[in-house]
Amino acid sequence: MLGLIASIPYWAQSLLRVLGGIVAVLLPAGTIVYVFLFKMMSFMQSRLGPMEAGPFGSLQLFAEVGKWLQKEDLYPERADKFIFKMAPLIVLSSTFLLVAVVPFGPDAWFTNFEAGVFYALAVSSVSVLGILIAGWASANKYSLLGGLRAAGQLIAYELPMVLAVIGVVIQAGTMNLQQIVVAQNDGSIFGWDGLGNPYILTQFIGFIIFMIAVQAELTQAPFDMPIAESELVSGYMTEYSGFRFLIFFIGEFATAGVFALIASILFLGGWGVPFSWFGWTSIDSIDNWMNVVGPLIMFTKMMLLVFVIMWVRFSYPRFREDQLQRFAWKVLIPLSLVNIMATSVLKVAF
């Protein structure tokens, strides 16, 4: 199969990659919205969720997309039109840029950067820009408050995210996401390689910090001050309706999916299963069917992590802005620095 793909012209390969990227972003977004937002949230609230559109409400997402698409394209009179229209696209583009570096299988990847981790963390900050200008350009005091809160919060929680990932990078010895996956599945815990070496076991603190930082980067409760439904109506998204709101909406859940994919790569072993199960020795010796099974494994791990994110989202009230910042600066960052020091010491020792 790989020979077949290598033989088609470059423009066709790029087209396949683009289509794959779109699927990789929209499919998780759609599944997350249906399974978690419509169904899991409803079950946690003693109700059944949408049941009318399609069997068990499975087509509700299409109905919602259709509803948003057919709405009037409004924007406030005093809004800065160009920036107002650009903001949702910036937020969504950062998701697409992020998924470009996620490997789905031994040969199923879009790009294979040597500094994949560095690129991923850098590109995930682009969405902050989008949120900030959405808040300013809306010509609405509530949006402004939401945008300013978002700026403070998202920038503050970038740091714990980066520092938590550094522990993984130290342990893996590389910033290449593909190599990190291989290092985890090829590794062993004190000589026993039945489970590989998923970094969640050794980098447990880093995992927790990363998940909390992801929760904050996605502006999900308990860190949803920028949206803060009961105060700011919808925060920076208040003035958006129709197609533009749809892009924000997709962006929110697609980013949740992609962050979960990255977390599963860094901590749960990514697309792989422990090599010892099939007797593989290196990445070249992996069978070709892994290219099809790998995305499925990634999908499962992503759903698991998003389950935890959404579970926390539906259960907790939200932090106040200053409590949020205090938590990031005074608790998470020192903890992650300690984690880095401990990891480097142990890495040299063992």
Partner 1 sequence: MTMLGDRQQLAYIASQAADARVNVELETEGMTLNIGPQHPATHGTLRIIARLDGEQVVWAEPSCGYMHRGYEKLTEVRTFPQVTALVNRIDWLGSFANEVPFILAAEQLMGIEAPRRAQWIRTILFELSRIANVSLFLGDLGVQLGAITPVFFAFRDREYVLNLIEGATGGRFHPNFDRIGGLKDDLPAGFIDETRVVMRKMRKFCDEIEGLLFGNEIFEARTRGIGVIPRDVALQYGLSGANLRASGVDWDLRRDQTLPMAWDKVDWKVWTHPDGDSYARCWIRLQEVRESTFIVEKLLDSLPSGPVMAKVPRIIKVPEGEAWVSTENPLGEMGYYVVSKGELGPFRVKIRSASFNNISIVPWLLKGVYVPDIITILASLYFILGDIDR
Partner 2 sequence: MAKVPGLLKGLGVTLGTMVETVTKGANTVQYPHEKETPPIRARGVIALHEGNCTSCMLCARSCPDWCIYIEGHKELAPPRRAGGKPRQVNKLDRFDIDYALCMYCGICVEVCPFDALFWSPEYEYSEPRIADLLHDKAKLGEWMETVPEAPELEAGAEKKGKK
**Which residues of the shown chain bind partner 2 in the complex (CB under 8 A)?**
40, 42-48, 51, 311-312, 314-316
Q: Which is nearer to partner 1, 149 or 301 (CB)?
A: 149
Q: How far is the CB of 125 from partner 1 (least distance, A)?
A: 23
45 vs 300, which CB is nearer to partner 2? 45
Residue 42, classed as helix, strand or coil, is helix
CB of 1 to partner 2, least distance (A): 39
Q: Which of partner 2, partner 1, none has residue 312 at its interface (CB below 5 to 8 Å by kind)?
A: partner 2
What's the one-letter identity of residue 338?
A: V
User: Rounded CA gap, 54 and 47, in Å?
Assistant: 17
- Calculate the alpha carbon distances from 282 to 150, 168, 285, 335 in Å: 43, 20, 6, 35
Which residues on neighbouring strands pair with residue 47, listed in sequence order? none
Residue 228: name its binding partner from partner 2, partner 1, none (Cβ under 5 to 8 Å by kind): partner 1
Q: Which amino acid is present at 318?
A: R
Q: Give yes or no for a contact between 98 and 111, defined as CB atoms under 8 angstroms apart.
A: no
| Closest CB 46 distance from partner 2, rounded Å | 5
Amino acid at the residue 249: F
- How far apart are the C-alpha atoms of 258 and 27, rounded to whole Å? 11
Q: Which of partner 2, partner 1, none lies near 68, with the C-beta cut-off 5 to 8 A by kind?
A: none
Given partner 2, partner 1, none, residue 43, with its beta carbon under 5 to 8 Å by kind, binds: partner 2
Q: Which is nearer to partner 2, 46 or 70 (CB)?
A: 46
Asked if 265 contacts 301 with a C-beta cutoff of 8 angstroms, the reply is: no
Is the CB of 217 or the CB of 321 nearer to partner 1? Answer: 321
Could you tell me if 269 and 185 are in contact, meaning their C-beta atoms sit under 8 angstroms apart?
A: yes
Contacts of residue 128, defined as CB under 8 A and 6 or more positions apart, other chains included, come to 150, 151, 154, 155, 158
Residue 311 binding target from partner 2, partner 1, none, CB below 5 to 8 Å by type? partner 2
CB of 24 to partner 2, least distance (A): 28
Smallest distance from the beta carbon of 149 to partner 1, in angstroms?
8
Minimum distance from residue 272 beta carbon to partner 1 (Å):
36
CB 264 within 8 A of CB 305: yes
Non-local CB neighbours of 219 within 8 Å, separated by 6+ positions: 131, 150, 153, 154, 225, 226, 227, 235, 252
The residues pairing with 192 across neighbouring beta strands, listed in sequence order, are 189
Contact set with partner 1 (CB under 8 A): 41, 44-47, 141-142, 145, 221-222, 224-225, 228-231, 233, 314-323
Nearer to partner 2 by Cβ, of 50 and 135: the residue is: 50
Task: Determine the Cα–Cα distance for residues 186 and 109; give it in Å rounded to an integer.
Answer: 19
Residue 51 interaction partner, one of partner 2, partner 1, none, beta carbon < 5-8 Å per kind = partner 2
Between 111 and 315, CB nearer to partner 2: 315
Residue 48's binding partner among partner 2, partner 1, none (Cβ under 5 to 8 angstroms by kind) is partner 2
Q: Which is nearer to partner 1, 70 or 230 (CB)?
A: 230
